[in-house]
Amino acid sequence: MSSSYRPRGGFSQRGRPRQLGSPGPSYRNNQTSTYKPSSSSPSPQSQSSTYRPQGNRNGYHQQYNNRSNNNYSNYNSSNNNNSSNNNQEPQHSLWMGDLDPQWDETTILEIWKAVDEQPTSVKIKQDKLSQKPMYCFVSFATQQEVEKAINRNGLPIPGTTKSFKLNRASGSTNVQSNSSVIKRTGTVVTPRNEFSIFIGDIDQSVTEKDLFDIFNDKYPKQIIQVRIMVDLVTRISKGFGFARFINSEVMEKALSELNGTVVGGRALRLGQAANSTISATPTAEIKTAPGIKINHHPQSQPPLNQFTDPDNTTVIVKGLDSKFTENEVVQYFISYGDIISFKMSDDLASATIEYYLRSSAESALLLLNGLLIKNRRLTVNWGNKEKSYKKRKFAPLVYNSFGATPIRFDKTKKEKVEASMSRSSKSTVNDLNSIYTTKKLARDAILNE
């Protein structure tokens, strides 16, 4: 492939001496300015990079010769670029919307500097009618910086109430690594919004940012943009929109996983956008008849919280007082299963109980909430995620109670717990007899308080 470009490399060698008057530039950044045929004045980013100090000319030539082969592909893509958008937006730039009307180009530059990005220039495009700035293009020295900057999409702008609303400038999209690969291998150039999905049933109150956050939470940094269509006259949401992803995998995941997500009280309806491509994934579709395909997407579930998380086996009981001893409270709760830990608060008004199994906690919660004991009203609730429970590292080994009666792990010797856990499924008559005896003994222990 590279062989066909060799002559151009030769040309570049010949072109080089024209710039000998200036200090030796670094090759990688230099190429755009050097080979842009139509650039009468050097673009800002090339200027800044041109004056990067370099050792000496010999060193430069050596470096250049060593690296020339590797850089043809880059050269190629930039060359293609120039043909498509030579007058619209500058190289390595991104689109920035939702601007404050007060801002001018320097303000925007300041904003970017404040967040530690170094854009080379900002160009505000005026709205034809109102003369207010609607959007601008922000240029960067390199594509890497663009990629870095675009990650700020959706983040708040420091010192203002607004958030960054960023997008790739249409001209620089094809510099993305994956699409440039496609180009290099010579495949057909795909349409721009290749991996988009349609979003229907959007509530009026839902904003683009809300949707973006939902997608971005689930697939961080893999969503490019969310658009909600608005009526041009009334500026009211039409109730549908589109979301664009970086590749088809994410798109399909989103289609199946987020369909039916409830936002603003309504369930989203997701579908494939008309012009998006879908890679061959036969599992997701069922061919009923030629030409008709139905995608089956499971409905998404709401995110887990302390009430619904199956890892939460902790319940908190409130409404106790000094009329209850620790042992008494434990009696009420241990009836429903093995307890890992039991802790009473210092003022004896509440207790935190961690069960071994979720099912035990569910029973306790269901049956003990609202109980009236000794004229005290107990309330039982799920433990709080931040404070009282953590995600289990592994699932319970056994899904039934270990002992003849439920036990408290924190008050039982480790060996005893282990012994009861390792009880084999084959029981001899003696085993059964001993289980029977322990049950009766446990019964007496309960009744003797």
Nearer to other proteins, 167 or 381 (CB): 381
Measure the CA dihedral 275/277/282/288, to 10°: 20
Q: Where are the beta strands (DSSP E) in 258-355?
A: 262-263, 266-267, 269-272, 285-289, 292-295, 314-318, 339-344, 350-355
Q: How far is the CB of 371 from other proteins (least distance, A)?
A: 6
Which positions ≥6 away from 296 have C-beta within 8 Å?
A: 284, 285, 286
Considering only 137, 195, 212, 336, the residue that binds other proteins (CB under 8 A) is 336
Nearer to other proteins, 223 or 334 (CB): 334
Q: Are 90 and 43 in contact (CB under 8 A)?
A: yes
Q: Is 410 in the site for other proteins (CB under 8 A)?
A: no
Cα 437 vs. chain centroid, distance in angstroms?
A: 56
**For residue 226, which phi and psi values (nearest 5 degrees)?**
-125, 135
Considering only 365, 389, 402, 403, the residue that binds other proteins (CB under 8 A) is 365
Stretch that binds other proteins, among 44-52, 190-198, 261-269, 270-278 (CB under 8 A): 261-269
| Residues between 18 and 77 with contacts to other proteins, criterion CB under 8 A | none
Q: Are 206 and 264 in contact (CB under 8 A)?
A: yes
Considering only 61, 370, 418, 431, the residue that binds other proteins (CB under 8 A) is 370
Q: How far is the CB of 298 from other proteins (least distance, A)?
A: 16
SS3 (DSSP) at 82: helix
Q: How far is the CB of 262 from other proteins (least distance, A)?
A: 6
Q: How far is the CB of 102 from other proteins (least distance, A)?
A: 39
Q: How far is the CB of 396 from other proteins (least distance, A)?
A: 17
Stretch that binds other proteins, among 146-154, 161-169, 170-178, 328-336 (CB under 8 A): 328-336
- CA 350/CA 243 separation, integer angstroms: 48
- CA 245/CA 225 separation, integer angstroms: 7
Considering only 377, 390, 392, 411, the residue that binds other proteins (CB under 8 A) is 377
SS3 (DSSP) at 171: helix
Stretch that binds other proteins, among 19-27, 50-58, 232-240, 362-370 (CB under 8 A): 362-370
Element housing 218 (H / E)? helix 208-218
Q: Which positions lie near other proteins, rule CB under 8 A? A: 262, 265-267, 302, 305, 307-308, 316, 322-325, 327-328, 331-332, 334-336, 346, 362-363, 365-367, 369-375, 377, 381-382, 384, 405-406, 443-444, 446-449
